Structures are given as structure tokens and as C-alpha cells.
A and B are shown apart, each in its own frame.
Chain A
């Protein structure tokens, strides 16, 4: 009787707590409904829709040139790659062959976008586990890439540099010089990233063995990008379905098999090195030629269905167009990497602590406008 009373007075109880929608650690307006028991997570339910702008529906209203600028607003950290996905889909449908120069420039800017996205992620990752310094260091290096974009494309984030058939403008005369300067600069900074965060024992204790995702689960949940590659699932679209100038260059796919937060971290650090190597292979010999091929003012795709996938900084982005032959798509569908990567959050965080949830979410690297669209 007496032991029952004691047990009851220490009985734990499950309760709900809202994380978000404006919690800084959620990287945007994402609301997580947590069922927790003390500090142990029992269930994580993401609640979406706070930044839904019905981009897919708006695409049905717009012409094919106008659709491109909407994709900037999906995954705003890899906006150039999103633009390219739509342009490639339209070009494939029209059977246009873009000049070699366009392909090379697109690939270089893709990889710059990837580095820019990963440096921002690296800074925010450090801040999520409690290291404020990395945030400023990440943004410092990202600023140089933004300057390159601003000089060539005219904008820092929502660039809208691609058009179906090529590029909006030729690259700026300073582009090559600036990219080379950046690569030289960034090569000295990446080892510093390792010194600050990768080798730090506190950081390793926070991430090693946390949020473990097995290869089978990664495939089952449809994970892609660094999240899947951290679990040993080789799925790089750039490797298996090369687009633009990627078929001419050699690079290694970053792959780790542990599947924990630390492995996903290492994949992204390695991807930045690979991006540097891709840019270095292309930057010295950008072929001469036109920066666009002329398309009709009103683009009409032949009747049919078209699919194009690309590798954004977060994973596989698919663009699916159904055309009935008109100047607008009948239906447009984006397969965003963020949604399937978020769907496995409950699976890998249940049983862990709240602090680990924040660290795991940081390594999944979600961008909420990409999930909601």
C-alpha cells in the first residue's frame, strides 16, 4: 500500500507541447506537435500549411517563362537549381539543345548555390547545438557567393537567372575572377570549419549516435540528398542522371554509412569539397558561344507528360508537367526533397530527448517553403 502511494506520486504523465510555428530552431514556420514524457519524446507530428502559397496552382495560370520565377520561392536556398529544373523540363519537351556555354555556366552556379546553402546550414547547425560563432563564420563565407550572384544575376537570393532556352544575361566579366577568388578563400576556410565544429568533442557527443536512420528506412521514407547519403544510400541525381555539364566531369559522391546526425553532417562538409572540385574543373574553360537559344515568345509544349529531376542542396527535386498543348501547363507537380525528408523525423527522434530533436532537425536541413510550396 505504502509503495503504491510512493510510485503514484512519482508517476510520469505524457503531455503535449507545441514547438513552433515561430520557434527559431525550426528554420521557418513549421509547427511540431510533440508528445513528451518528461524530456523523452513519444511522438512528433509536423503540422504544415503556415506558408502555403499554392505555387502549383499558380503555375497552371502562368506561362512557362513565368513559372520559373515561382520556383525561386520554394527552396529559396537552392533557387538557381529549382529554376534549372523547370527550364530543363521545358527544354526537353521542346527538344531544344542549349549551347555548351549555358550548360557549363548553369553547373557552376548550381555548385555555388550548393556551397552557399551548405555554409548557411553549417552556421545554423552550429547555432542549433549551441555554438553561436559558427553562425557568423558561415554567413561570412556565404556573403562572397551572394556578391557573385548579385553581380551576375542581379539578385542575391531569388535570382531567376534561367529562362527556358538559356540564361537571361551573359555572365558578368568579373564572374570568373570572383569565383576563383572565392574558391581560393573558401579552401582556407573549410579546414577552419573542421577545427571549430567537426573535431569538437562537445559537438560530436551531441550528434554521434543521435537520430539514427537505417539505409532501409531511408529508402522506405523516400529520403534523398545528404540525409539518404548519410545512411549509405547512394542516390545522387548528379551521378545517376547527369544533367547540364555534369556528364563531363568527375566527382565523388559523398557517402557515409552510420546514418546518425554526425554522418549527415560529414556528408555535407564533404559535398562542399566536391562542389569546389566541380567548379575548378569547369571554371577555366567556359566555352564561347551564345548564352541562350531563341524560343518563341509564347511557349507551347506538345501534348504529353514531362518529368525532370535535379539534385538540389537538400535532395532530389522533381518537376512534373502535364501539358495539353496550350501555353499553360494543365497540371504542374513538384516533388520536393524537404517533405519526404521531414516525414522521417518522427521515426528517428522517438525515444530521444528534446535537445536531440533540435540537433536532428538541423541535420535534416529542412526549408519550410519547400515543404509547403
Chain B
């Protein structure tokens, strides 16, 4: 007897489930969250807090606000940031001042934890929303964040 009731309940519950799927089949565009990714690249906008990669913004005078304090380097859990710095004599005051030579960022090692940006006292580095980071060679993932010939913006102190 339970054999037949099983068949009956099996078909009944199957139809209940198919009622749900059938509803979505008929209204397939309603509530669809799928994005047509490579085709919508022009209109795709990531959230402003999205952690893609670390960048150092430069203004129109090719100036950044990194003082070379190395707080990001210390905060980084796995050594993704390396700062090569030097002391140079400031021509105005005559004092020696710490200046960055290269701010090297290893994107291939970065875990996107955000501790460096949290640690930066002068907001010199920030997140970029670019997520298409695939490259053909691993060495391309090592980036120098400060542009050639750039210097620290006047008035930014450690």
C-alpha cells in the first residue's frame, strides 16, 4: 500500500517543485541576477570600496603624498610592499629628509587584506577597483607604484 502512496506523493511533490521552477521558467528575466560579464564591461561599475589592487594616486604635477614612513610595509602580513628609500638634503631647510625611491608592490602576493591602506597616515595609497589582473608573465605583477620623476607633495609630513 505504501508503494502506491509513495508514487502518489512522489509525483505530487515533484509537481510542487516544478511549480516553482516553472514560474521562473515563464518569468525568466524577473529577478535575474546574472551579469553578461565580458559584454557589459563598458557599463560595469564596481563598488567604490572594492579591493582590486593598491595604487598610489598622483596629481597633475606628478606629485604623490607618500613620505616613505614605511608603515604600510610594516603592516603588510606577507611582505607584498617593499619601499626603497633614501635620505636627501632638503635645499630650503638644509635638513636630511627621507624620500622614497621606489614603492614596490607585489600584486601576486597581495591578499587584499587592506591593512596597508588602514595604516597609511597620509592617504598616499588607496584601492583601485580594477579586477582584471591576469597577465602572461609573473614579473608583470610586481609594480612600482610611484611614477618615474614623481616627488612628494609639499606640505605632506610624516
Contact = CB atoms under 8 A, between A and B. Distances in A.
B77 A153 contact: no
B19 interface: yes
B113 A201 contact: no
B127 A201 contact: no
Interface in B27-59: 31, 33, 46-47, 49-51
A172 interface: yes
A154 B31 CA distance: 24
B154 interface: no
Contacts of A297: 71, 119
A217 interface: no
B79 to A, nearest CB: 11
A373 to B, nearest CB: 16
A279 B19 CA distance: 30
Contacts of B113: 66, 69, 72, 158, 160
Contacts of A151: 47, 49
Contact of B49 (A143, A144, A169): A169
Interface stretch (B5-13, B99-107, B145-153): B5-13
Contact size class for B?
A: 20 to 34
A163 interface: yes
B17 interface: yes
Given A70-B77, A154-B50, A199 B112 contact: no
A168 B114 contact: yes
A200 interface: yes
Contact size class for A?
A: 20 to 34
A325 to B, nearest CB: 20
A296 interface: no
Contacts of A150: 46-47, 49-50
B107 to A, nearest CB: 15
Contacts of B112: 154-155, 158, 160
A152 B50 CA distance: 9
Given A158-B112, A201-B9, A192 B20 contact: yes
Given A62-B77, A150-B47, A172-B49, A69 B111 contact: yes
Contacts, number: 76
B130 interface: no
Nearest to B6: A201
B127 to A, nearest CB: 7
A343 interface: no
A69 B115 contact: yes
B118 A143 contact: no
Given A66-B115, A143-B33, A199 B51 contact: no
A70 B114 CA distance: 13
Contacts of A196: 17, 20-21
Nearest to A174: B47
A192 B31 CA distance: 14
Interface of B: 6, 9-10, 12-14, 16-17, 19-21, 31, 33, 46-47, 49-51, 71, 75, 77, 111-115, 118-119, 127
13 contacts: A66-B75, A72-B113, A140-B31, A150-B46, A154-B47, A154-B51, A154-B112, A155-B51, A155-B112, A158-B112, A195-B16, A196-B20, A201-B12
Interface of A: 62, 65-66, 69-70, 72, 133, 140, 143-144, 150-155, 158, 160, 163, 168-169, 172, 192, 195-197, 199-202, 205, 297
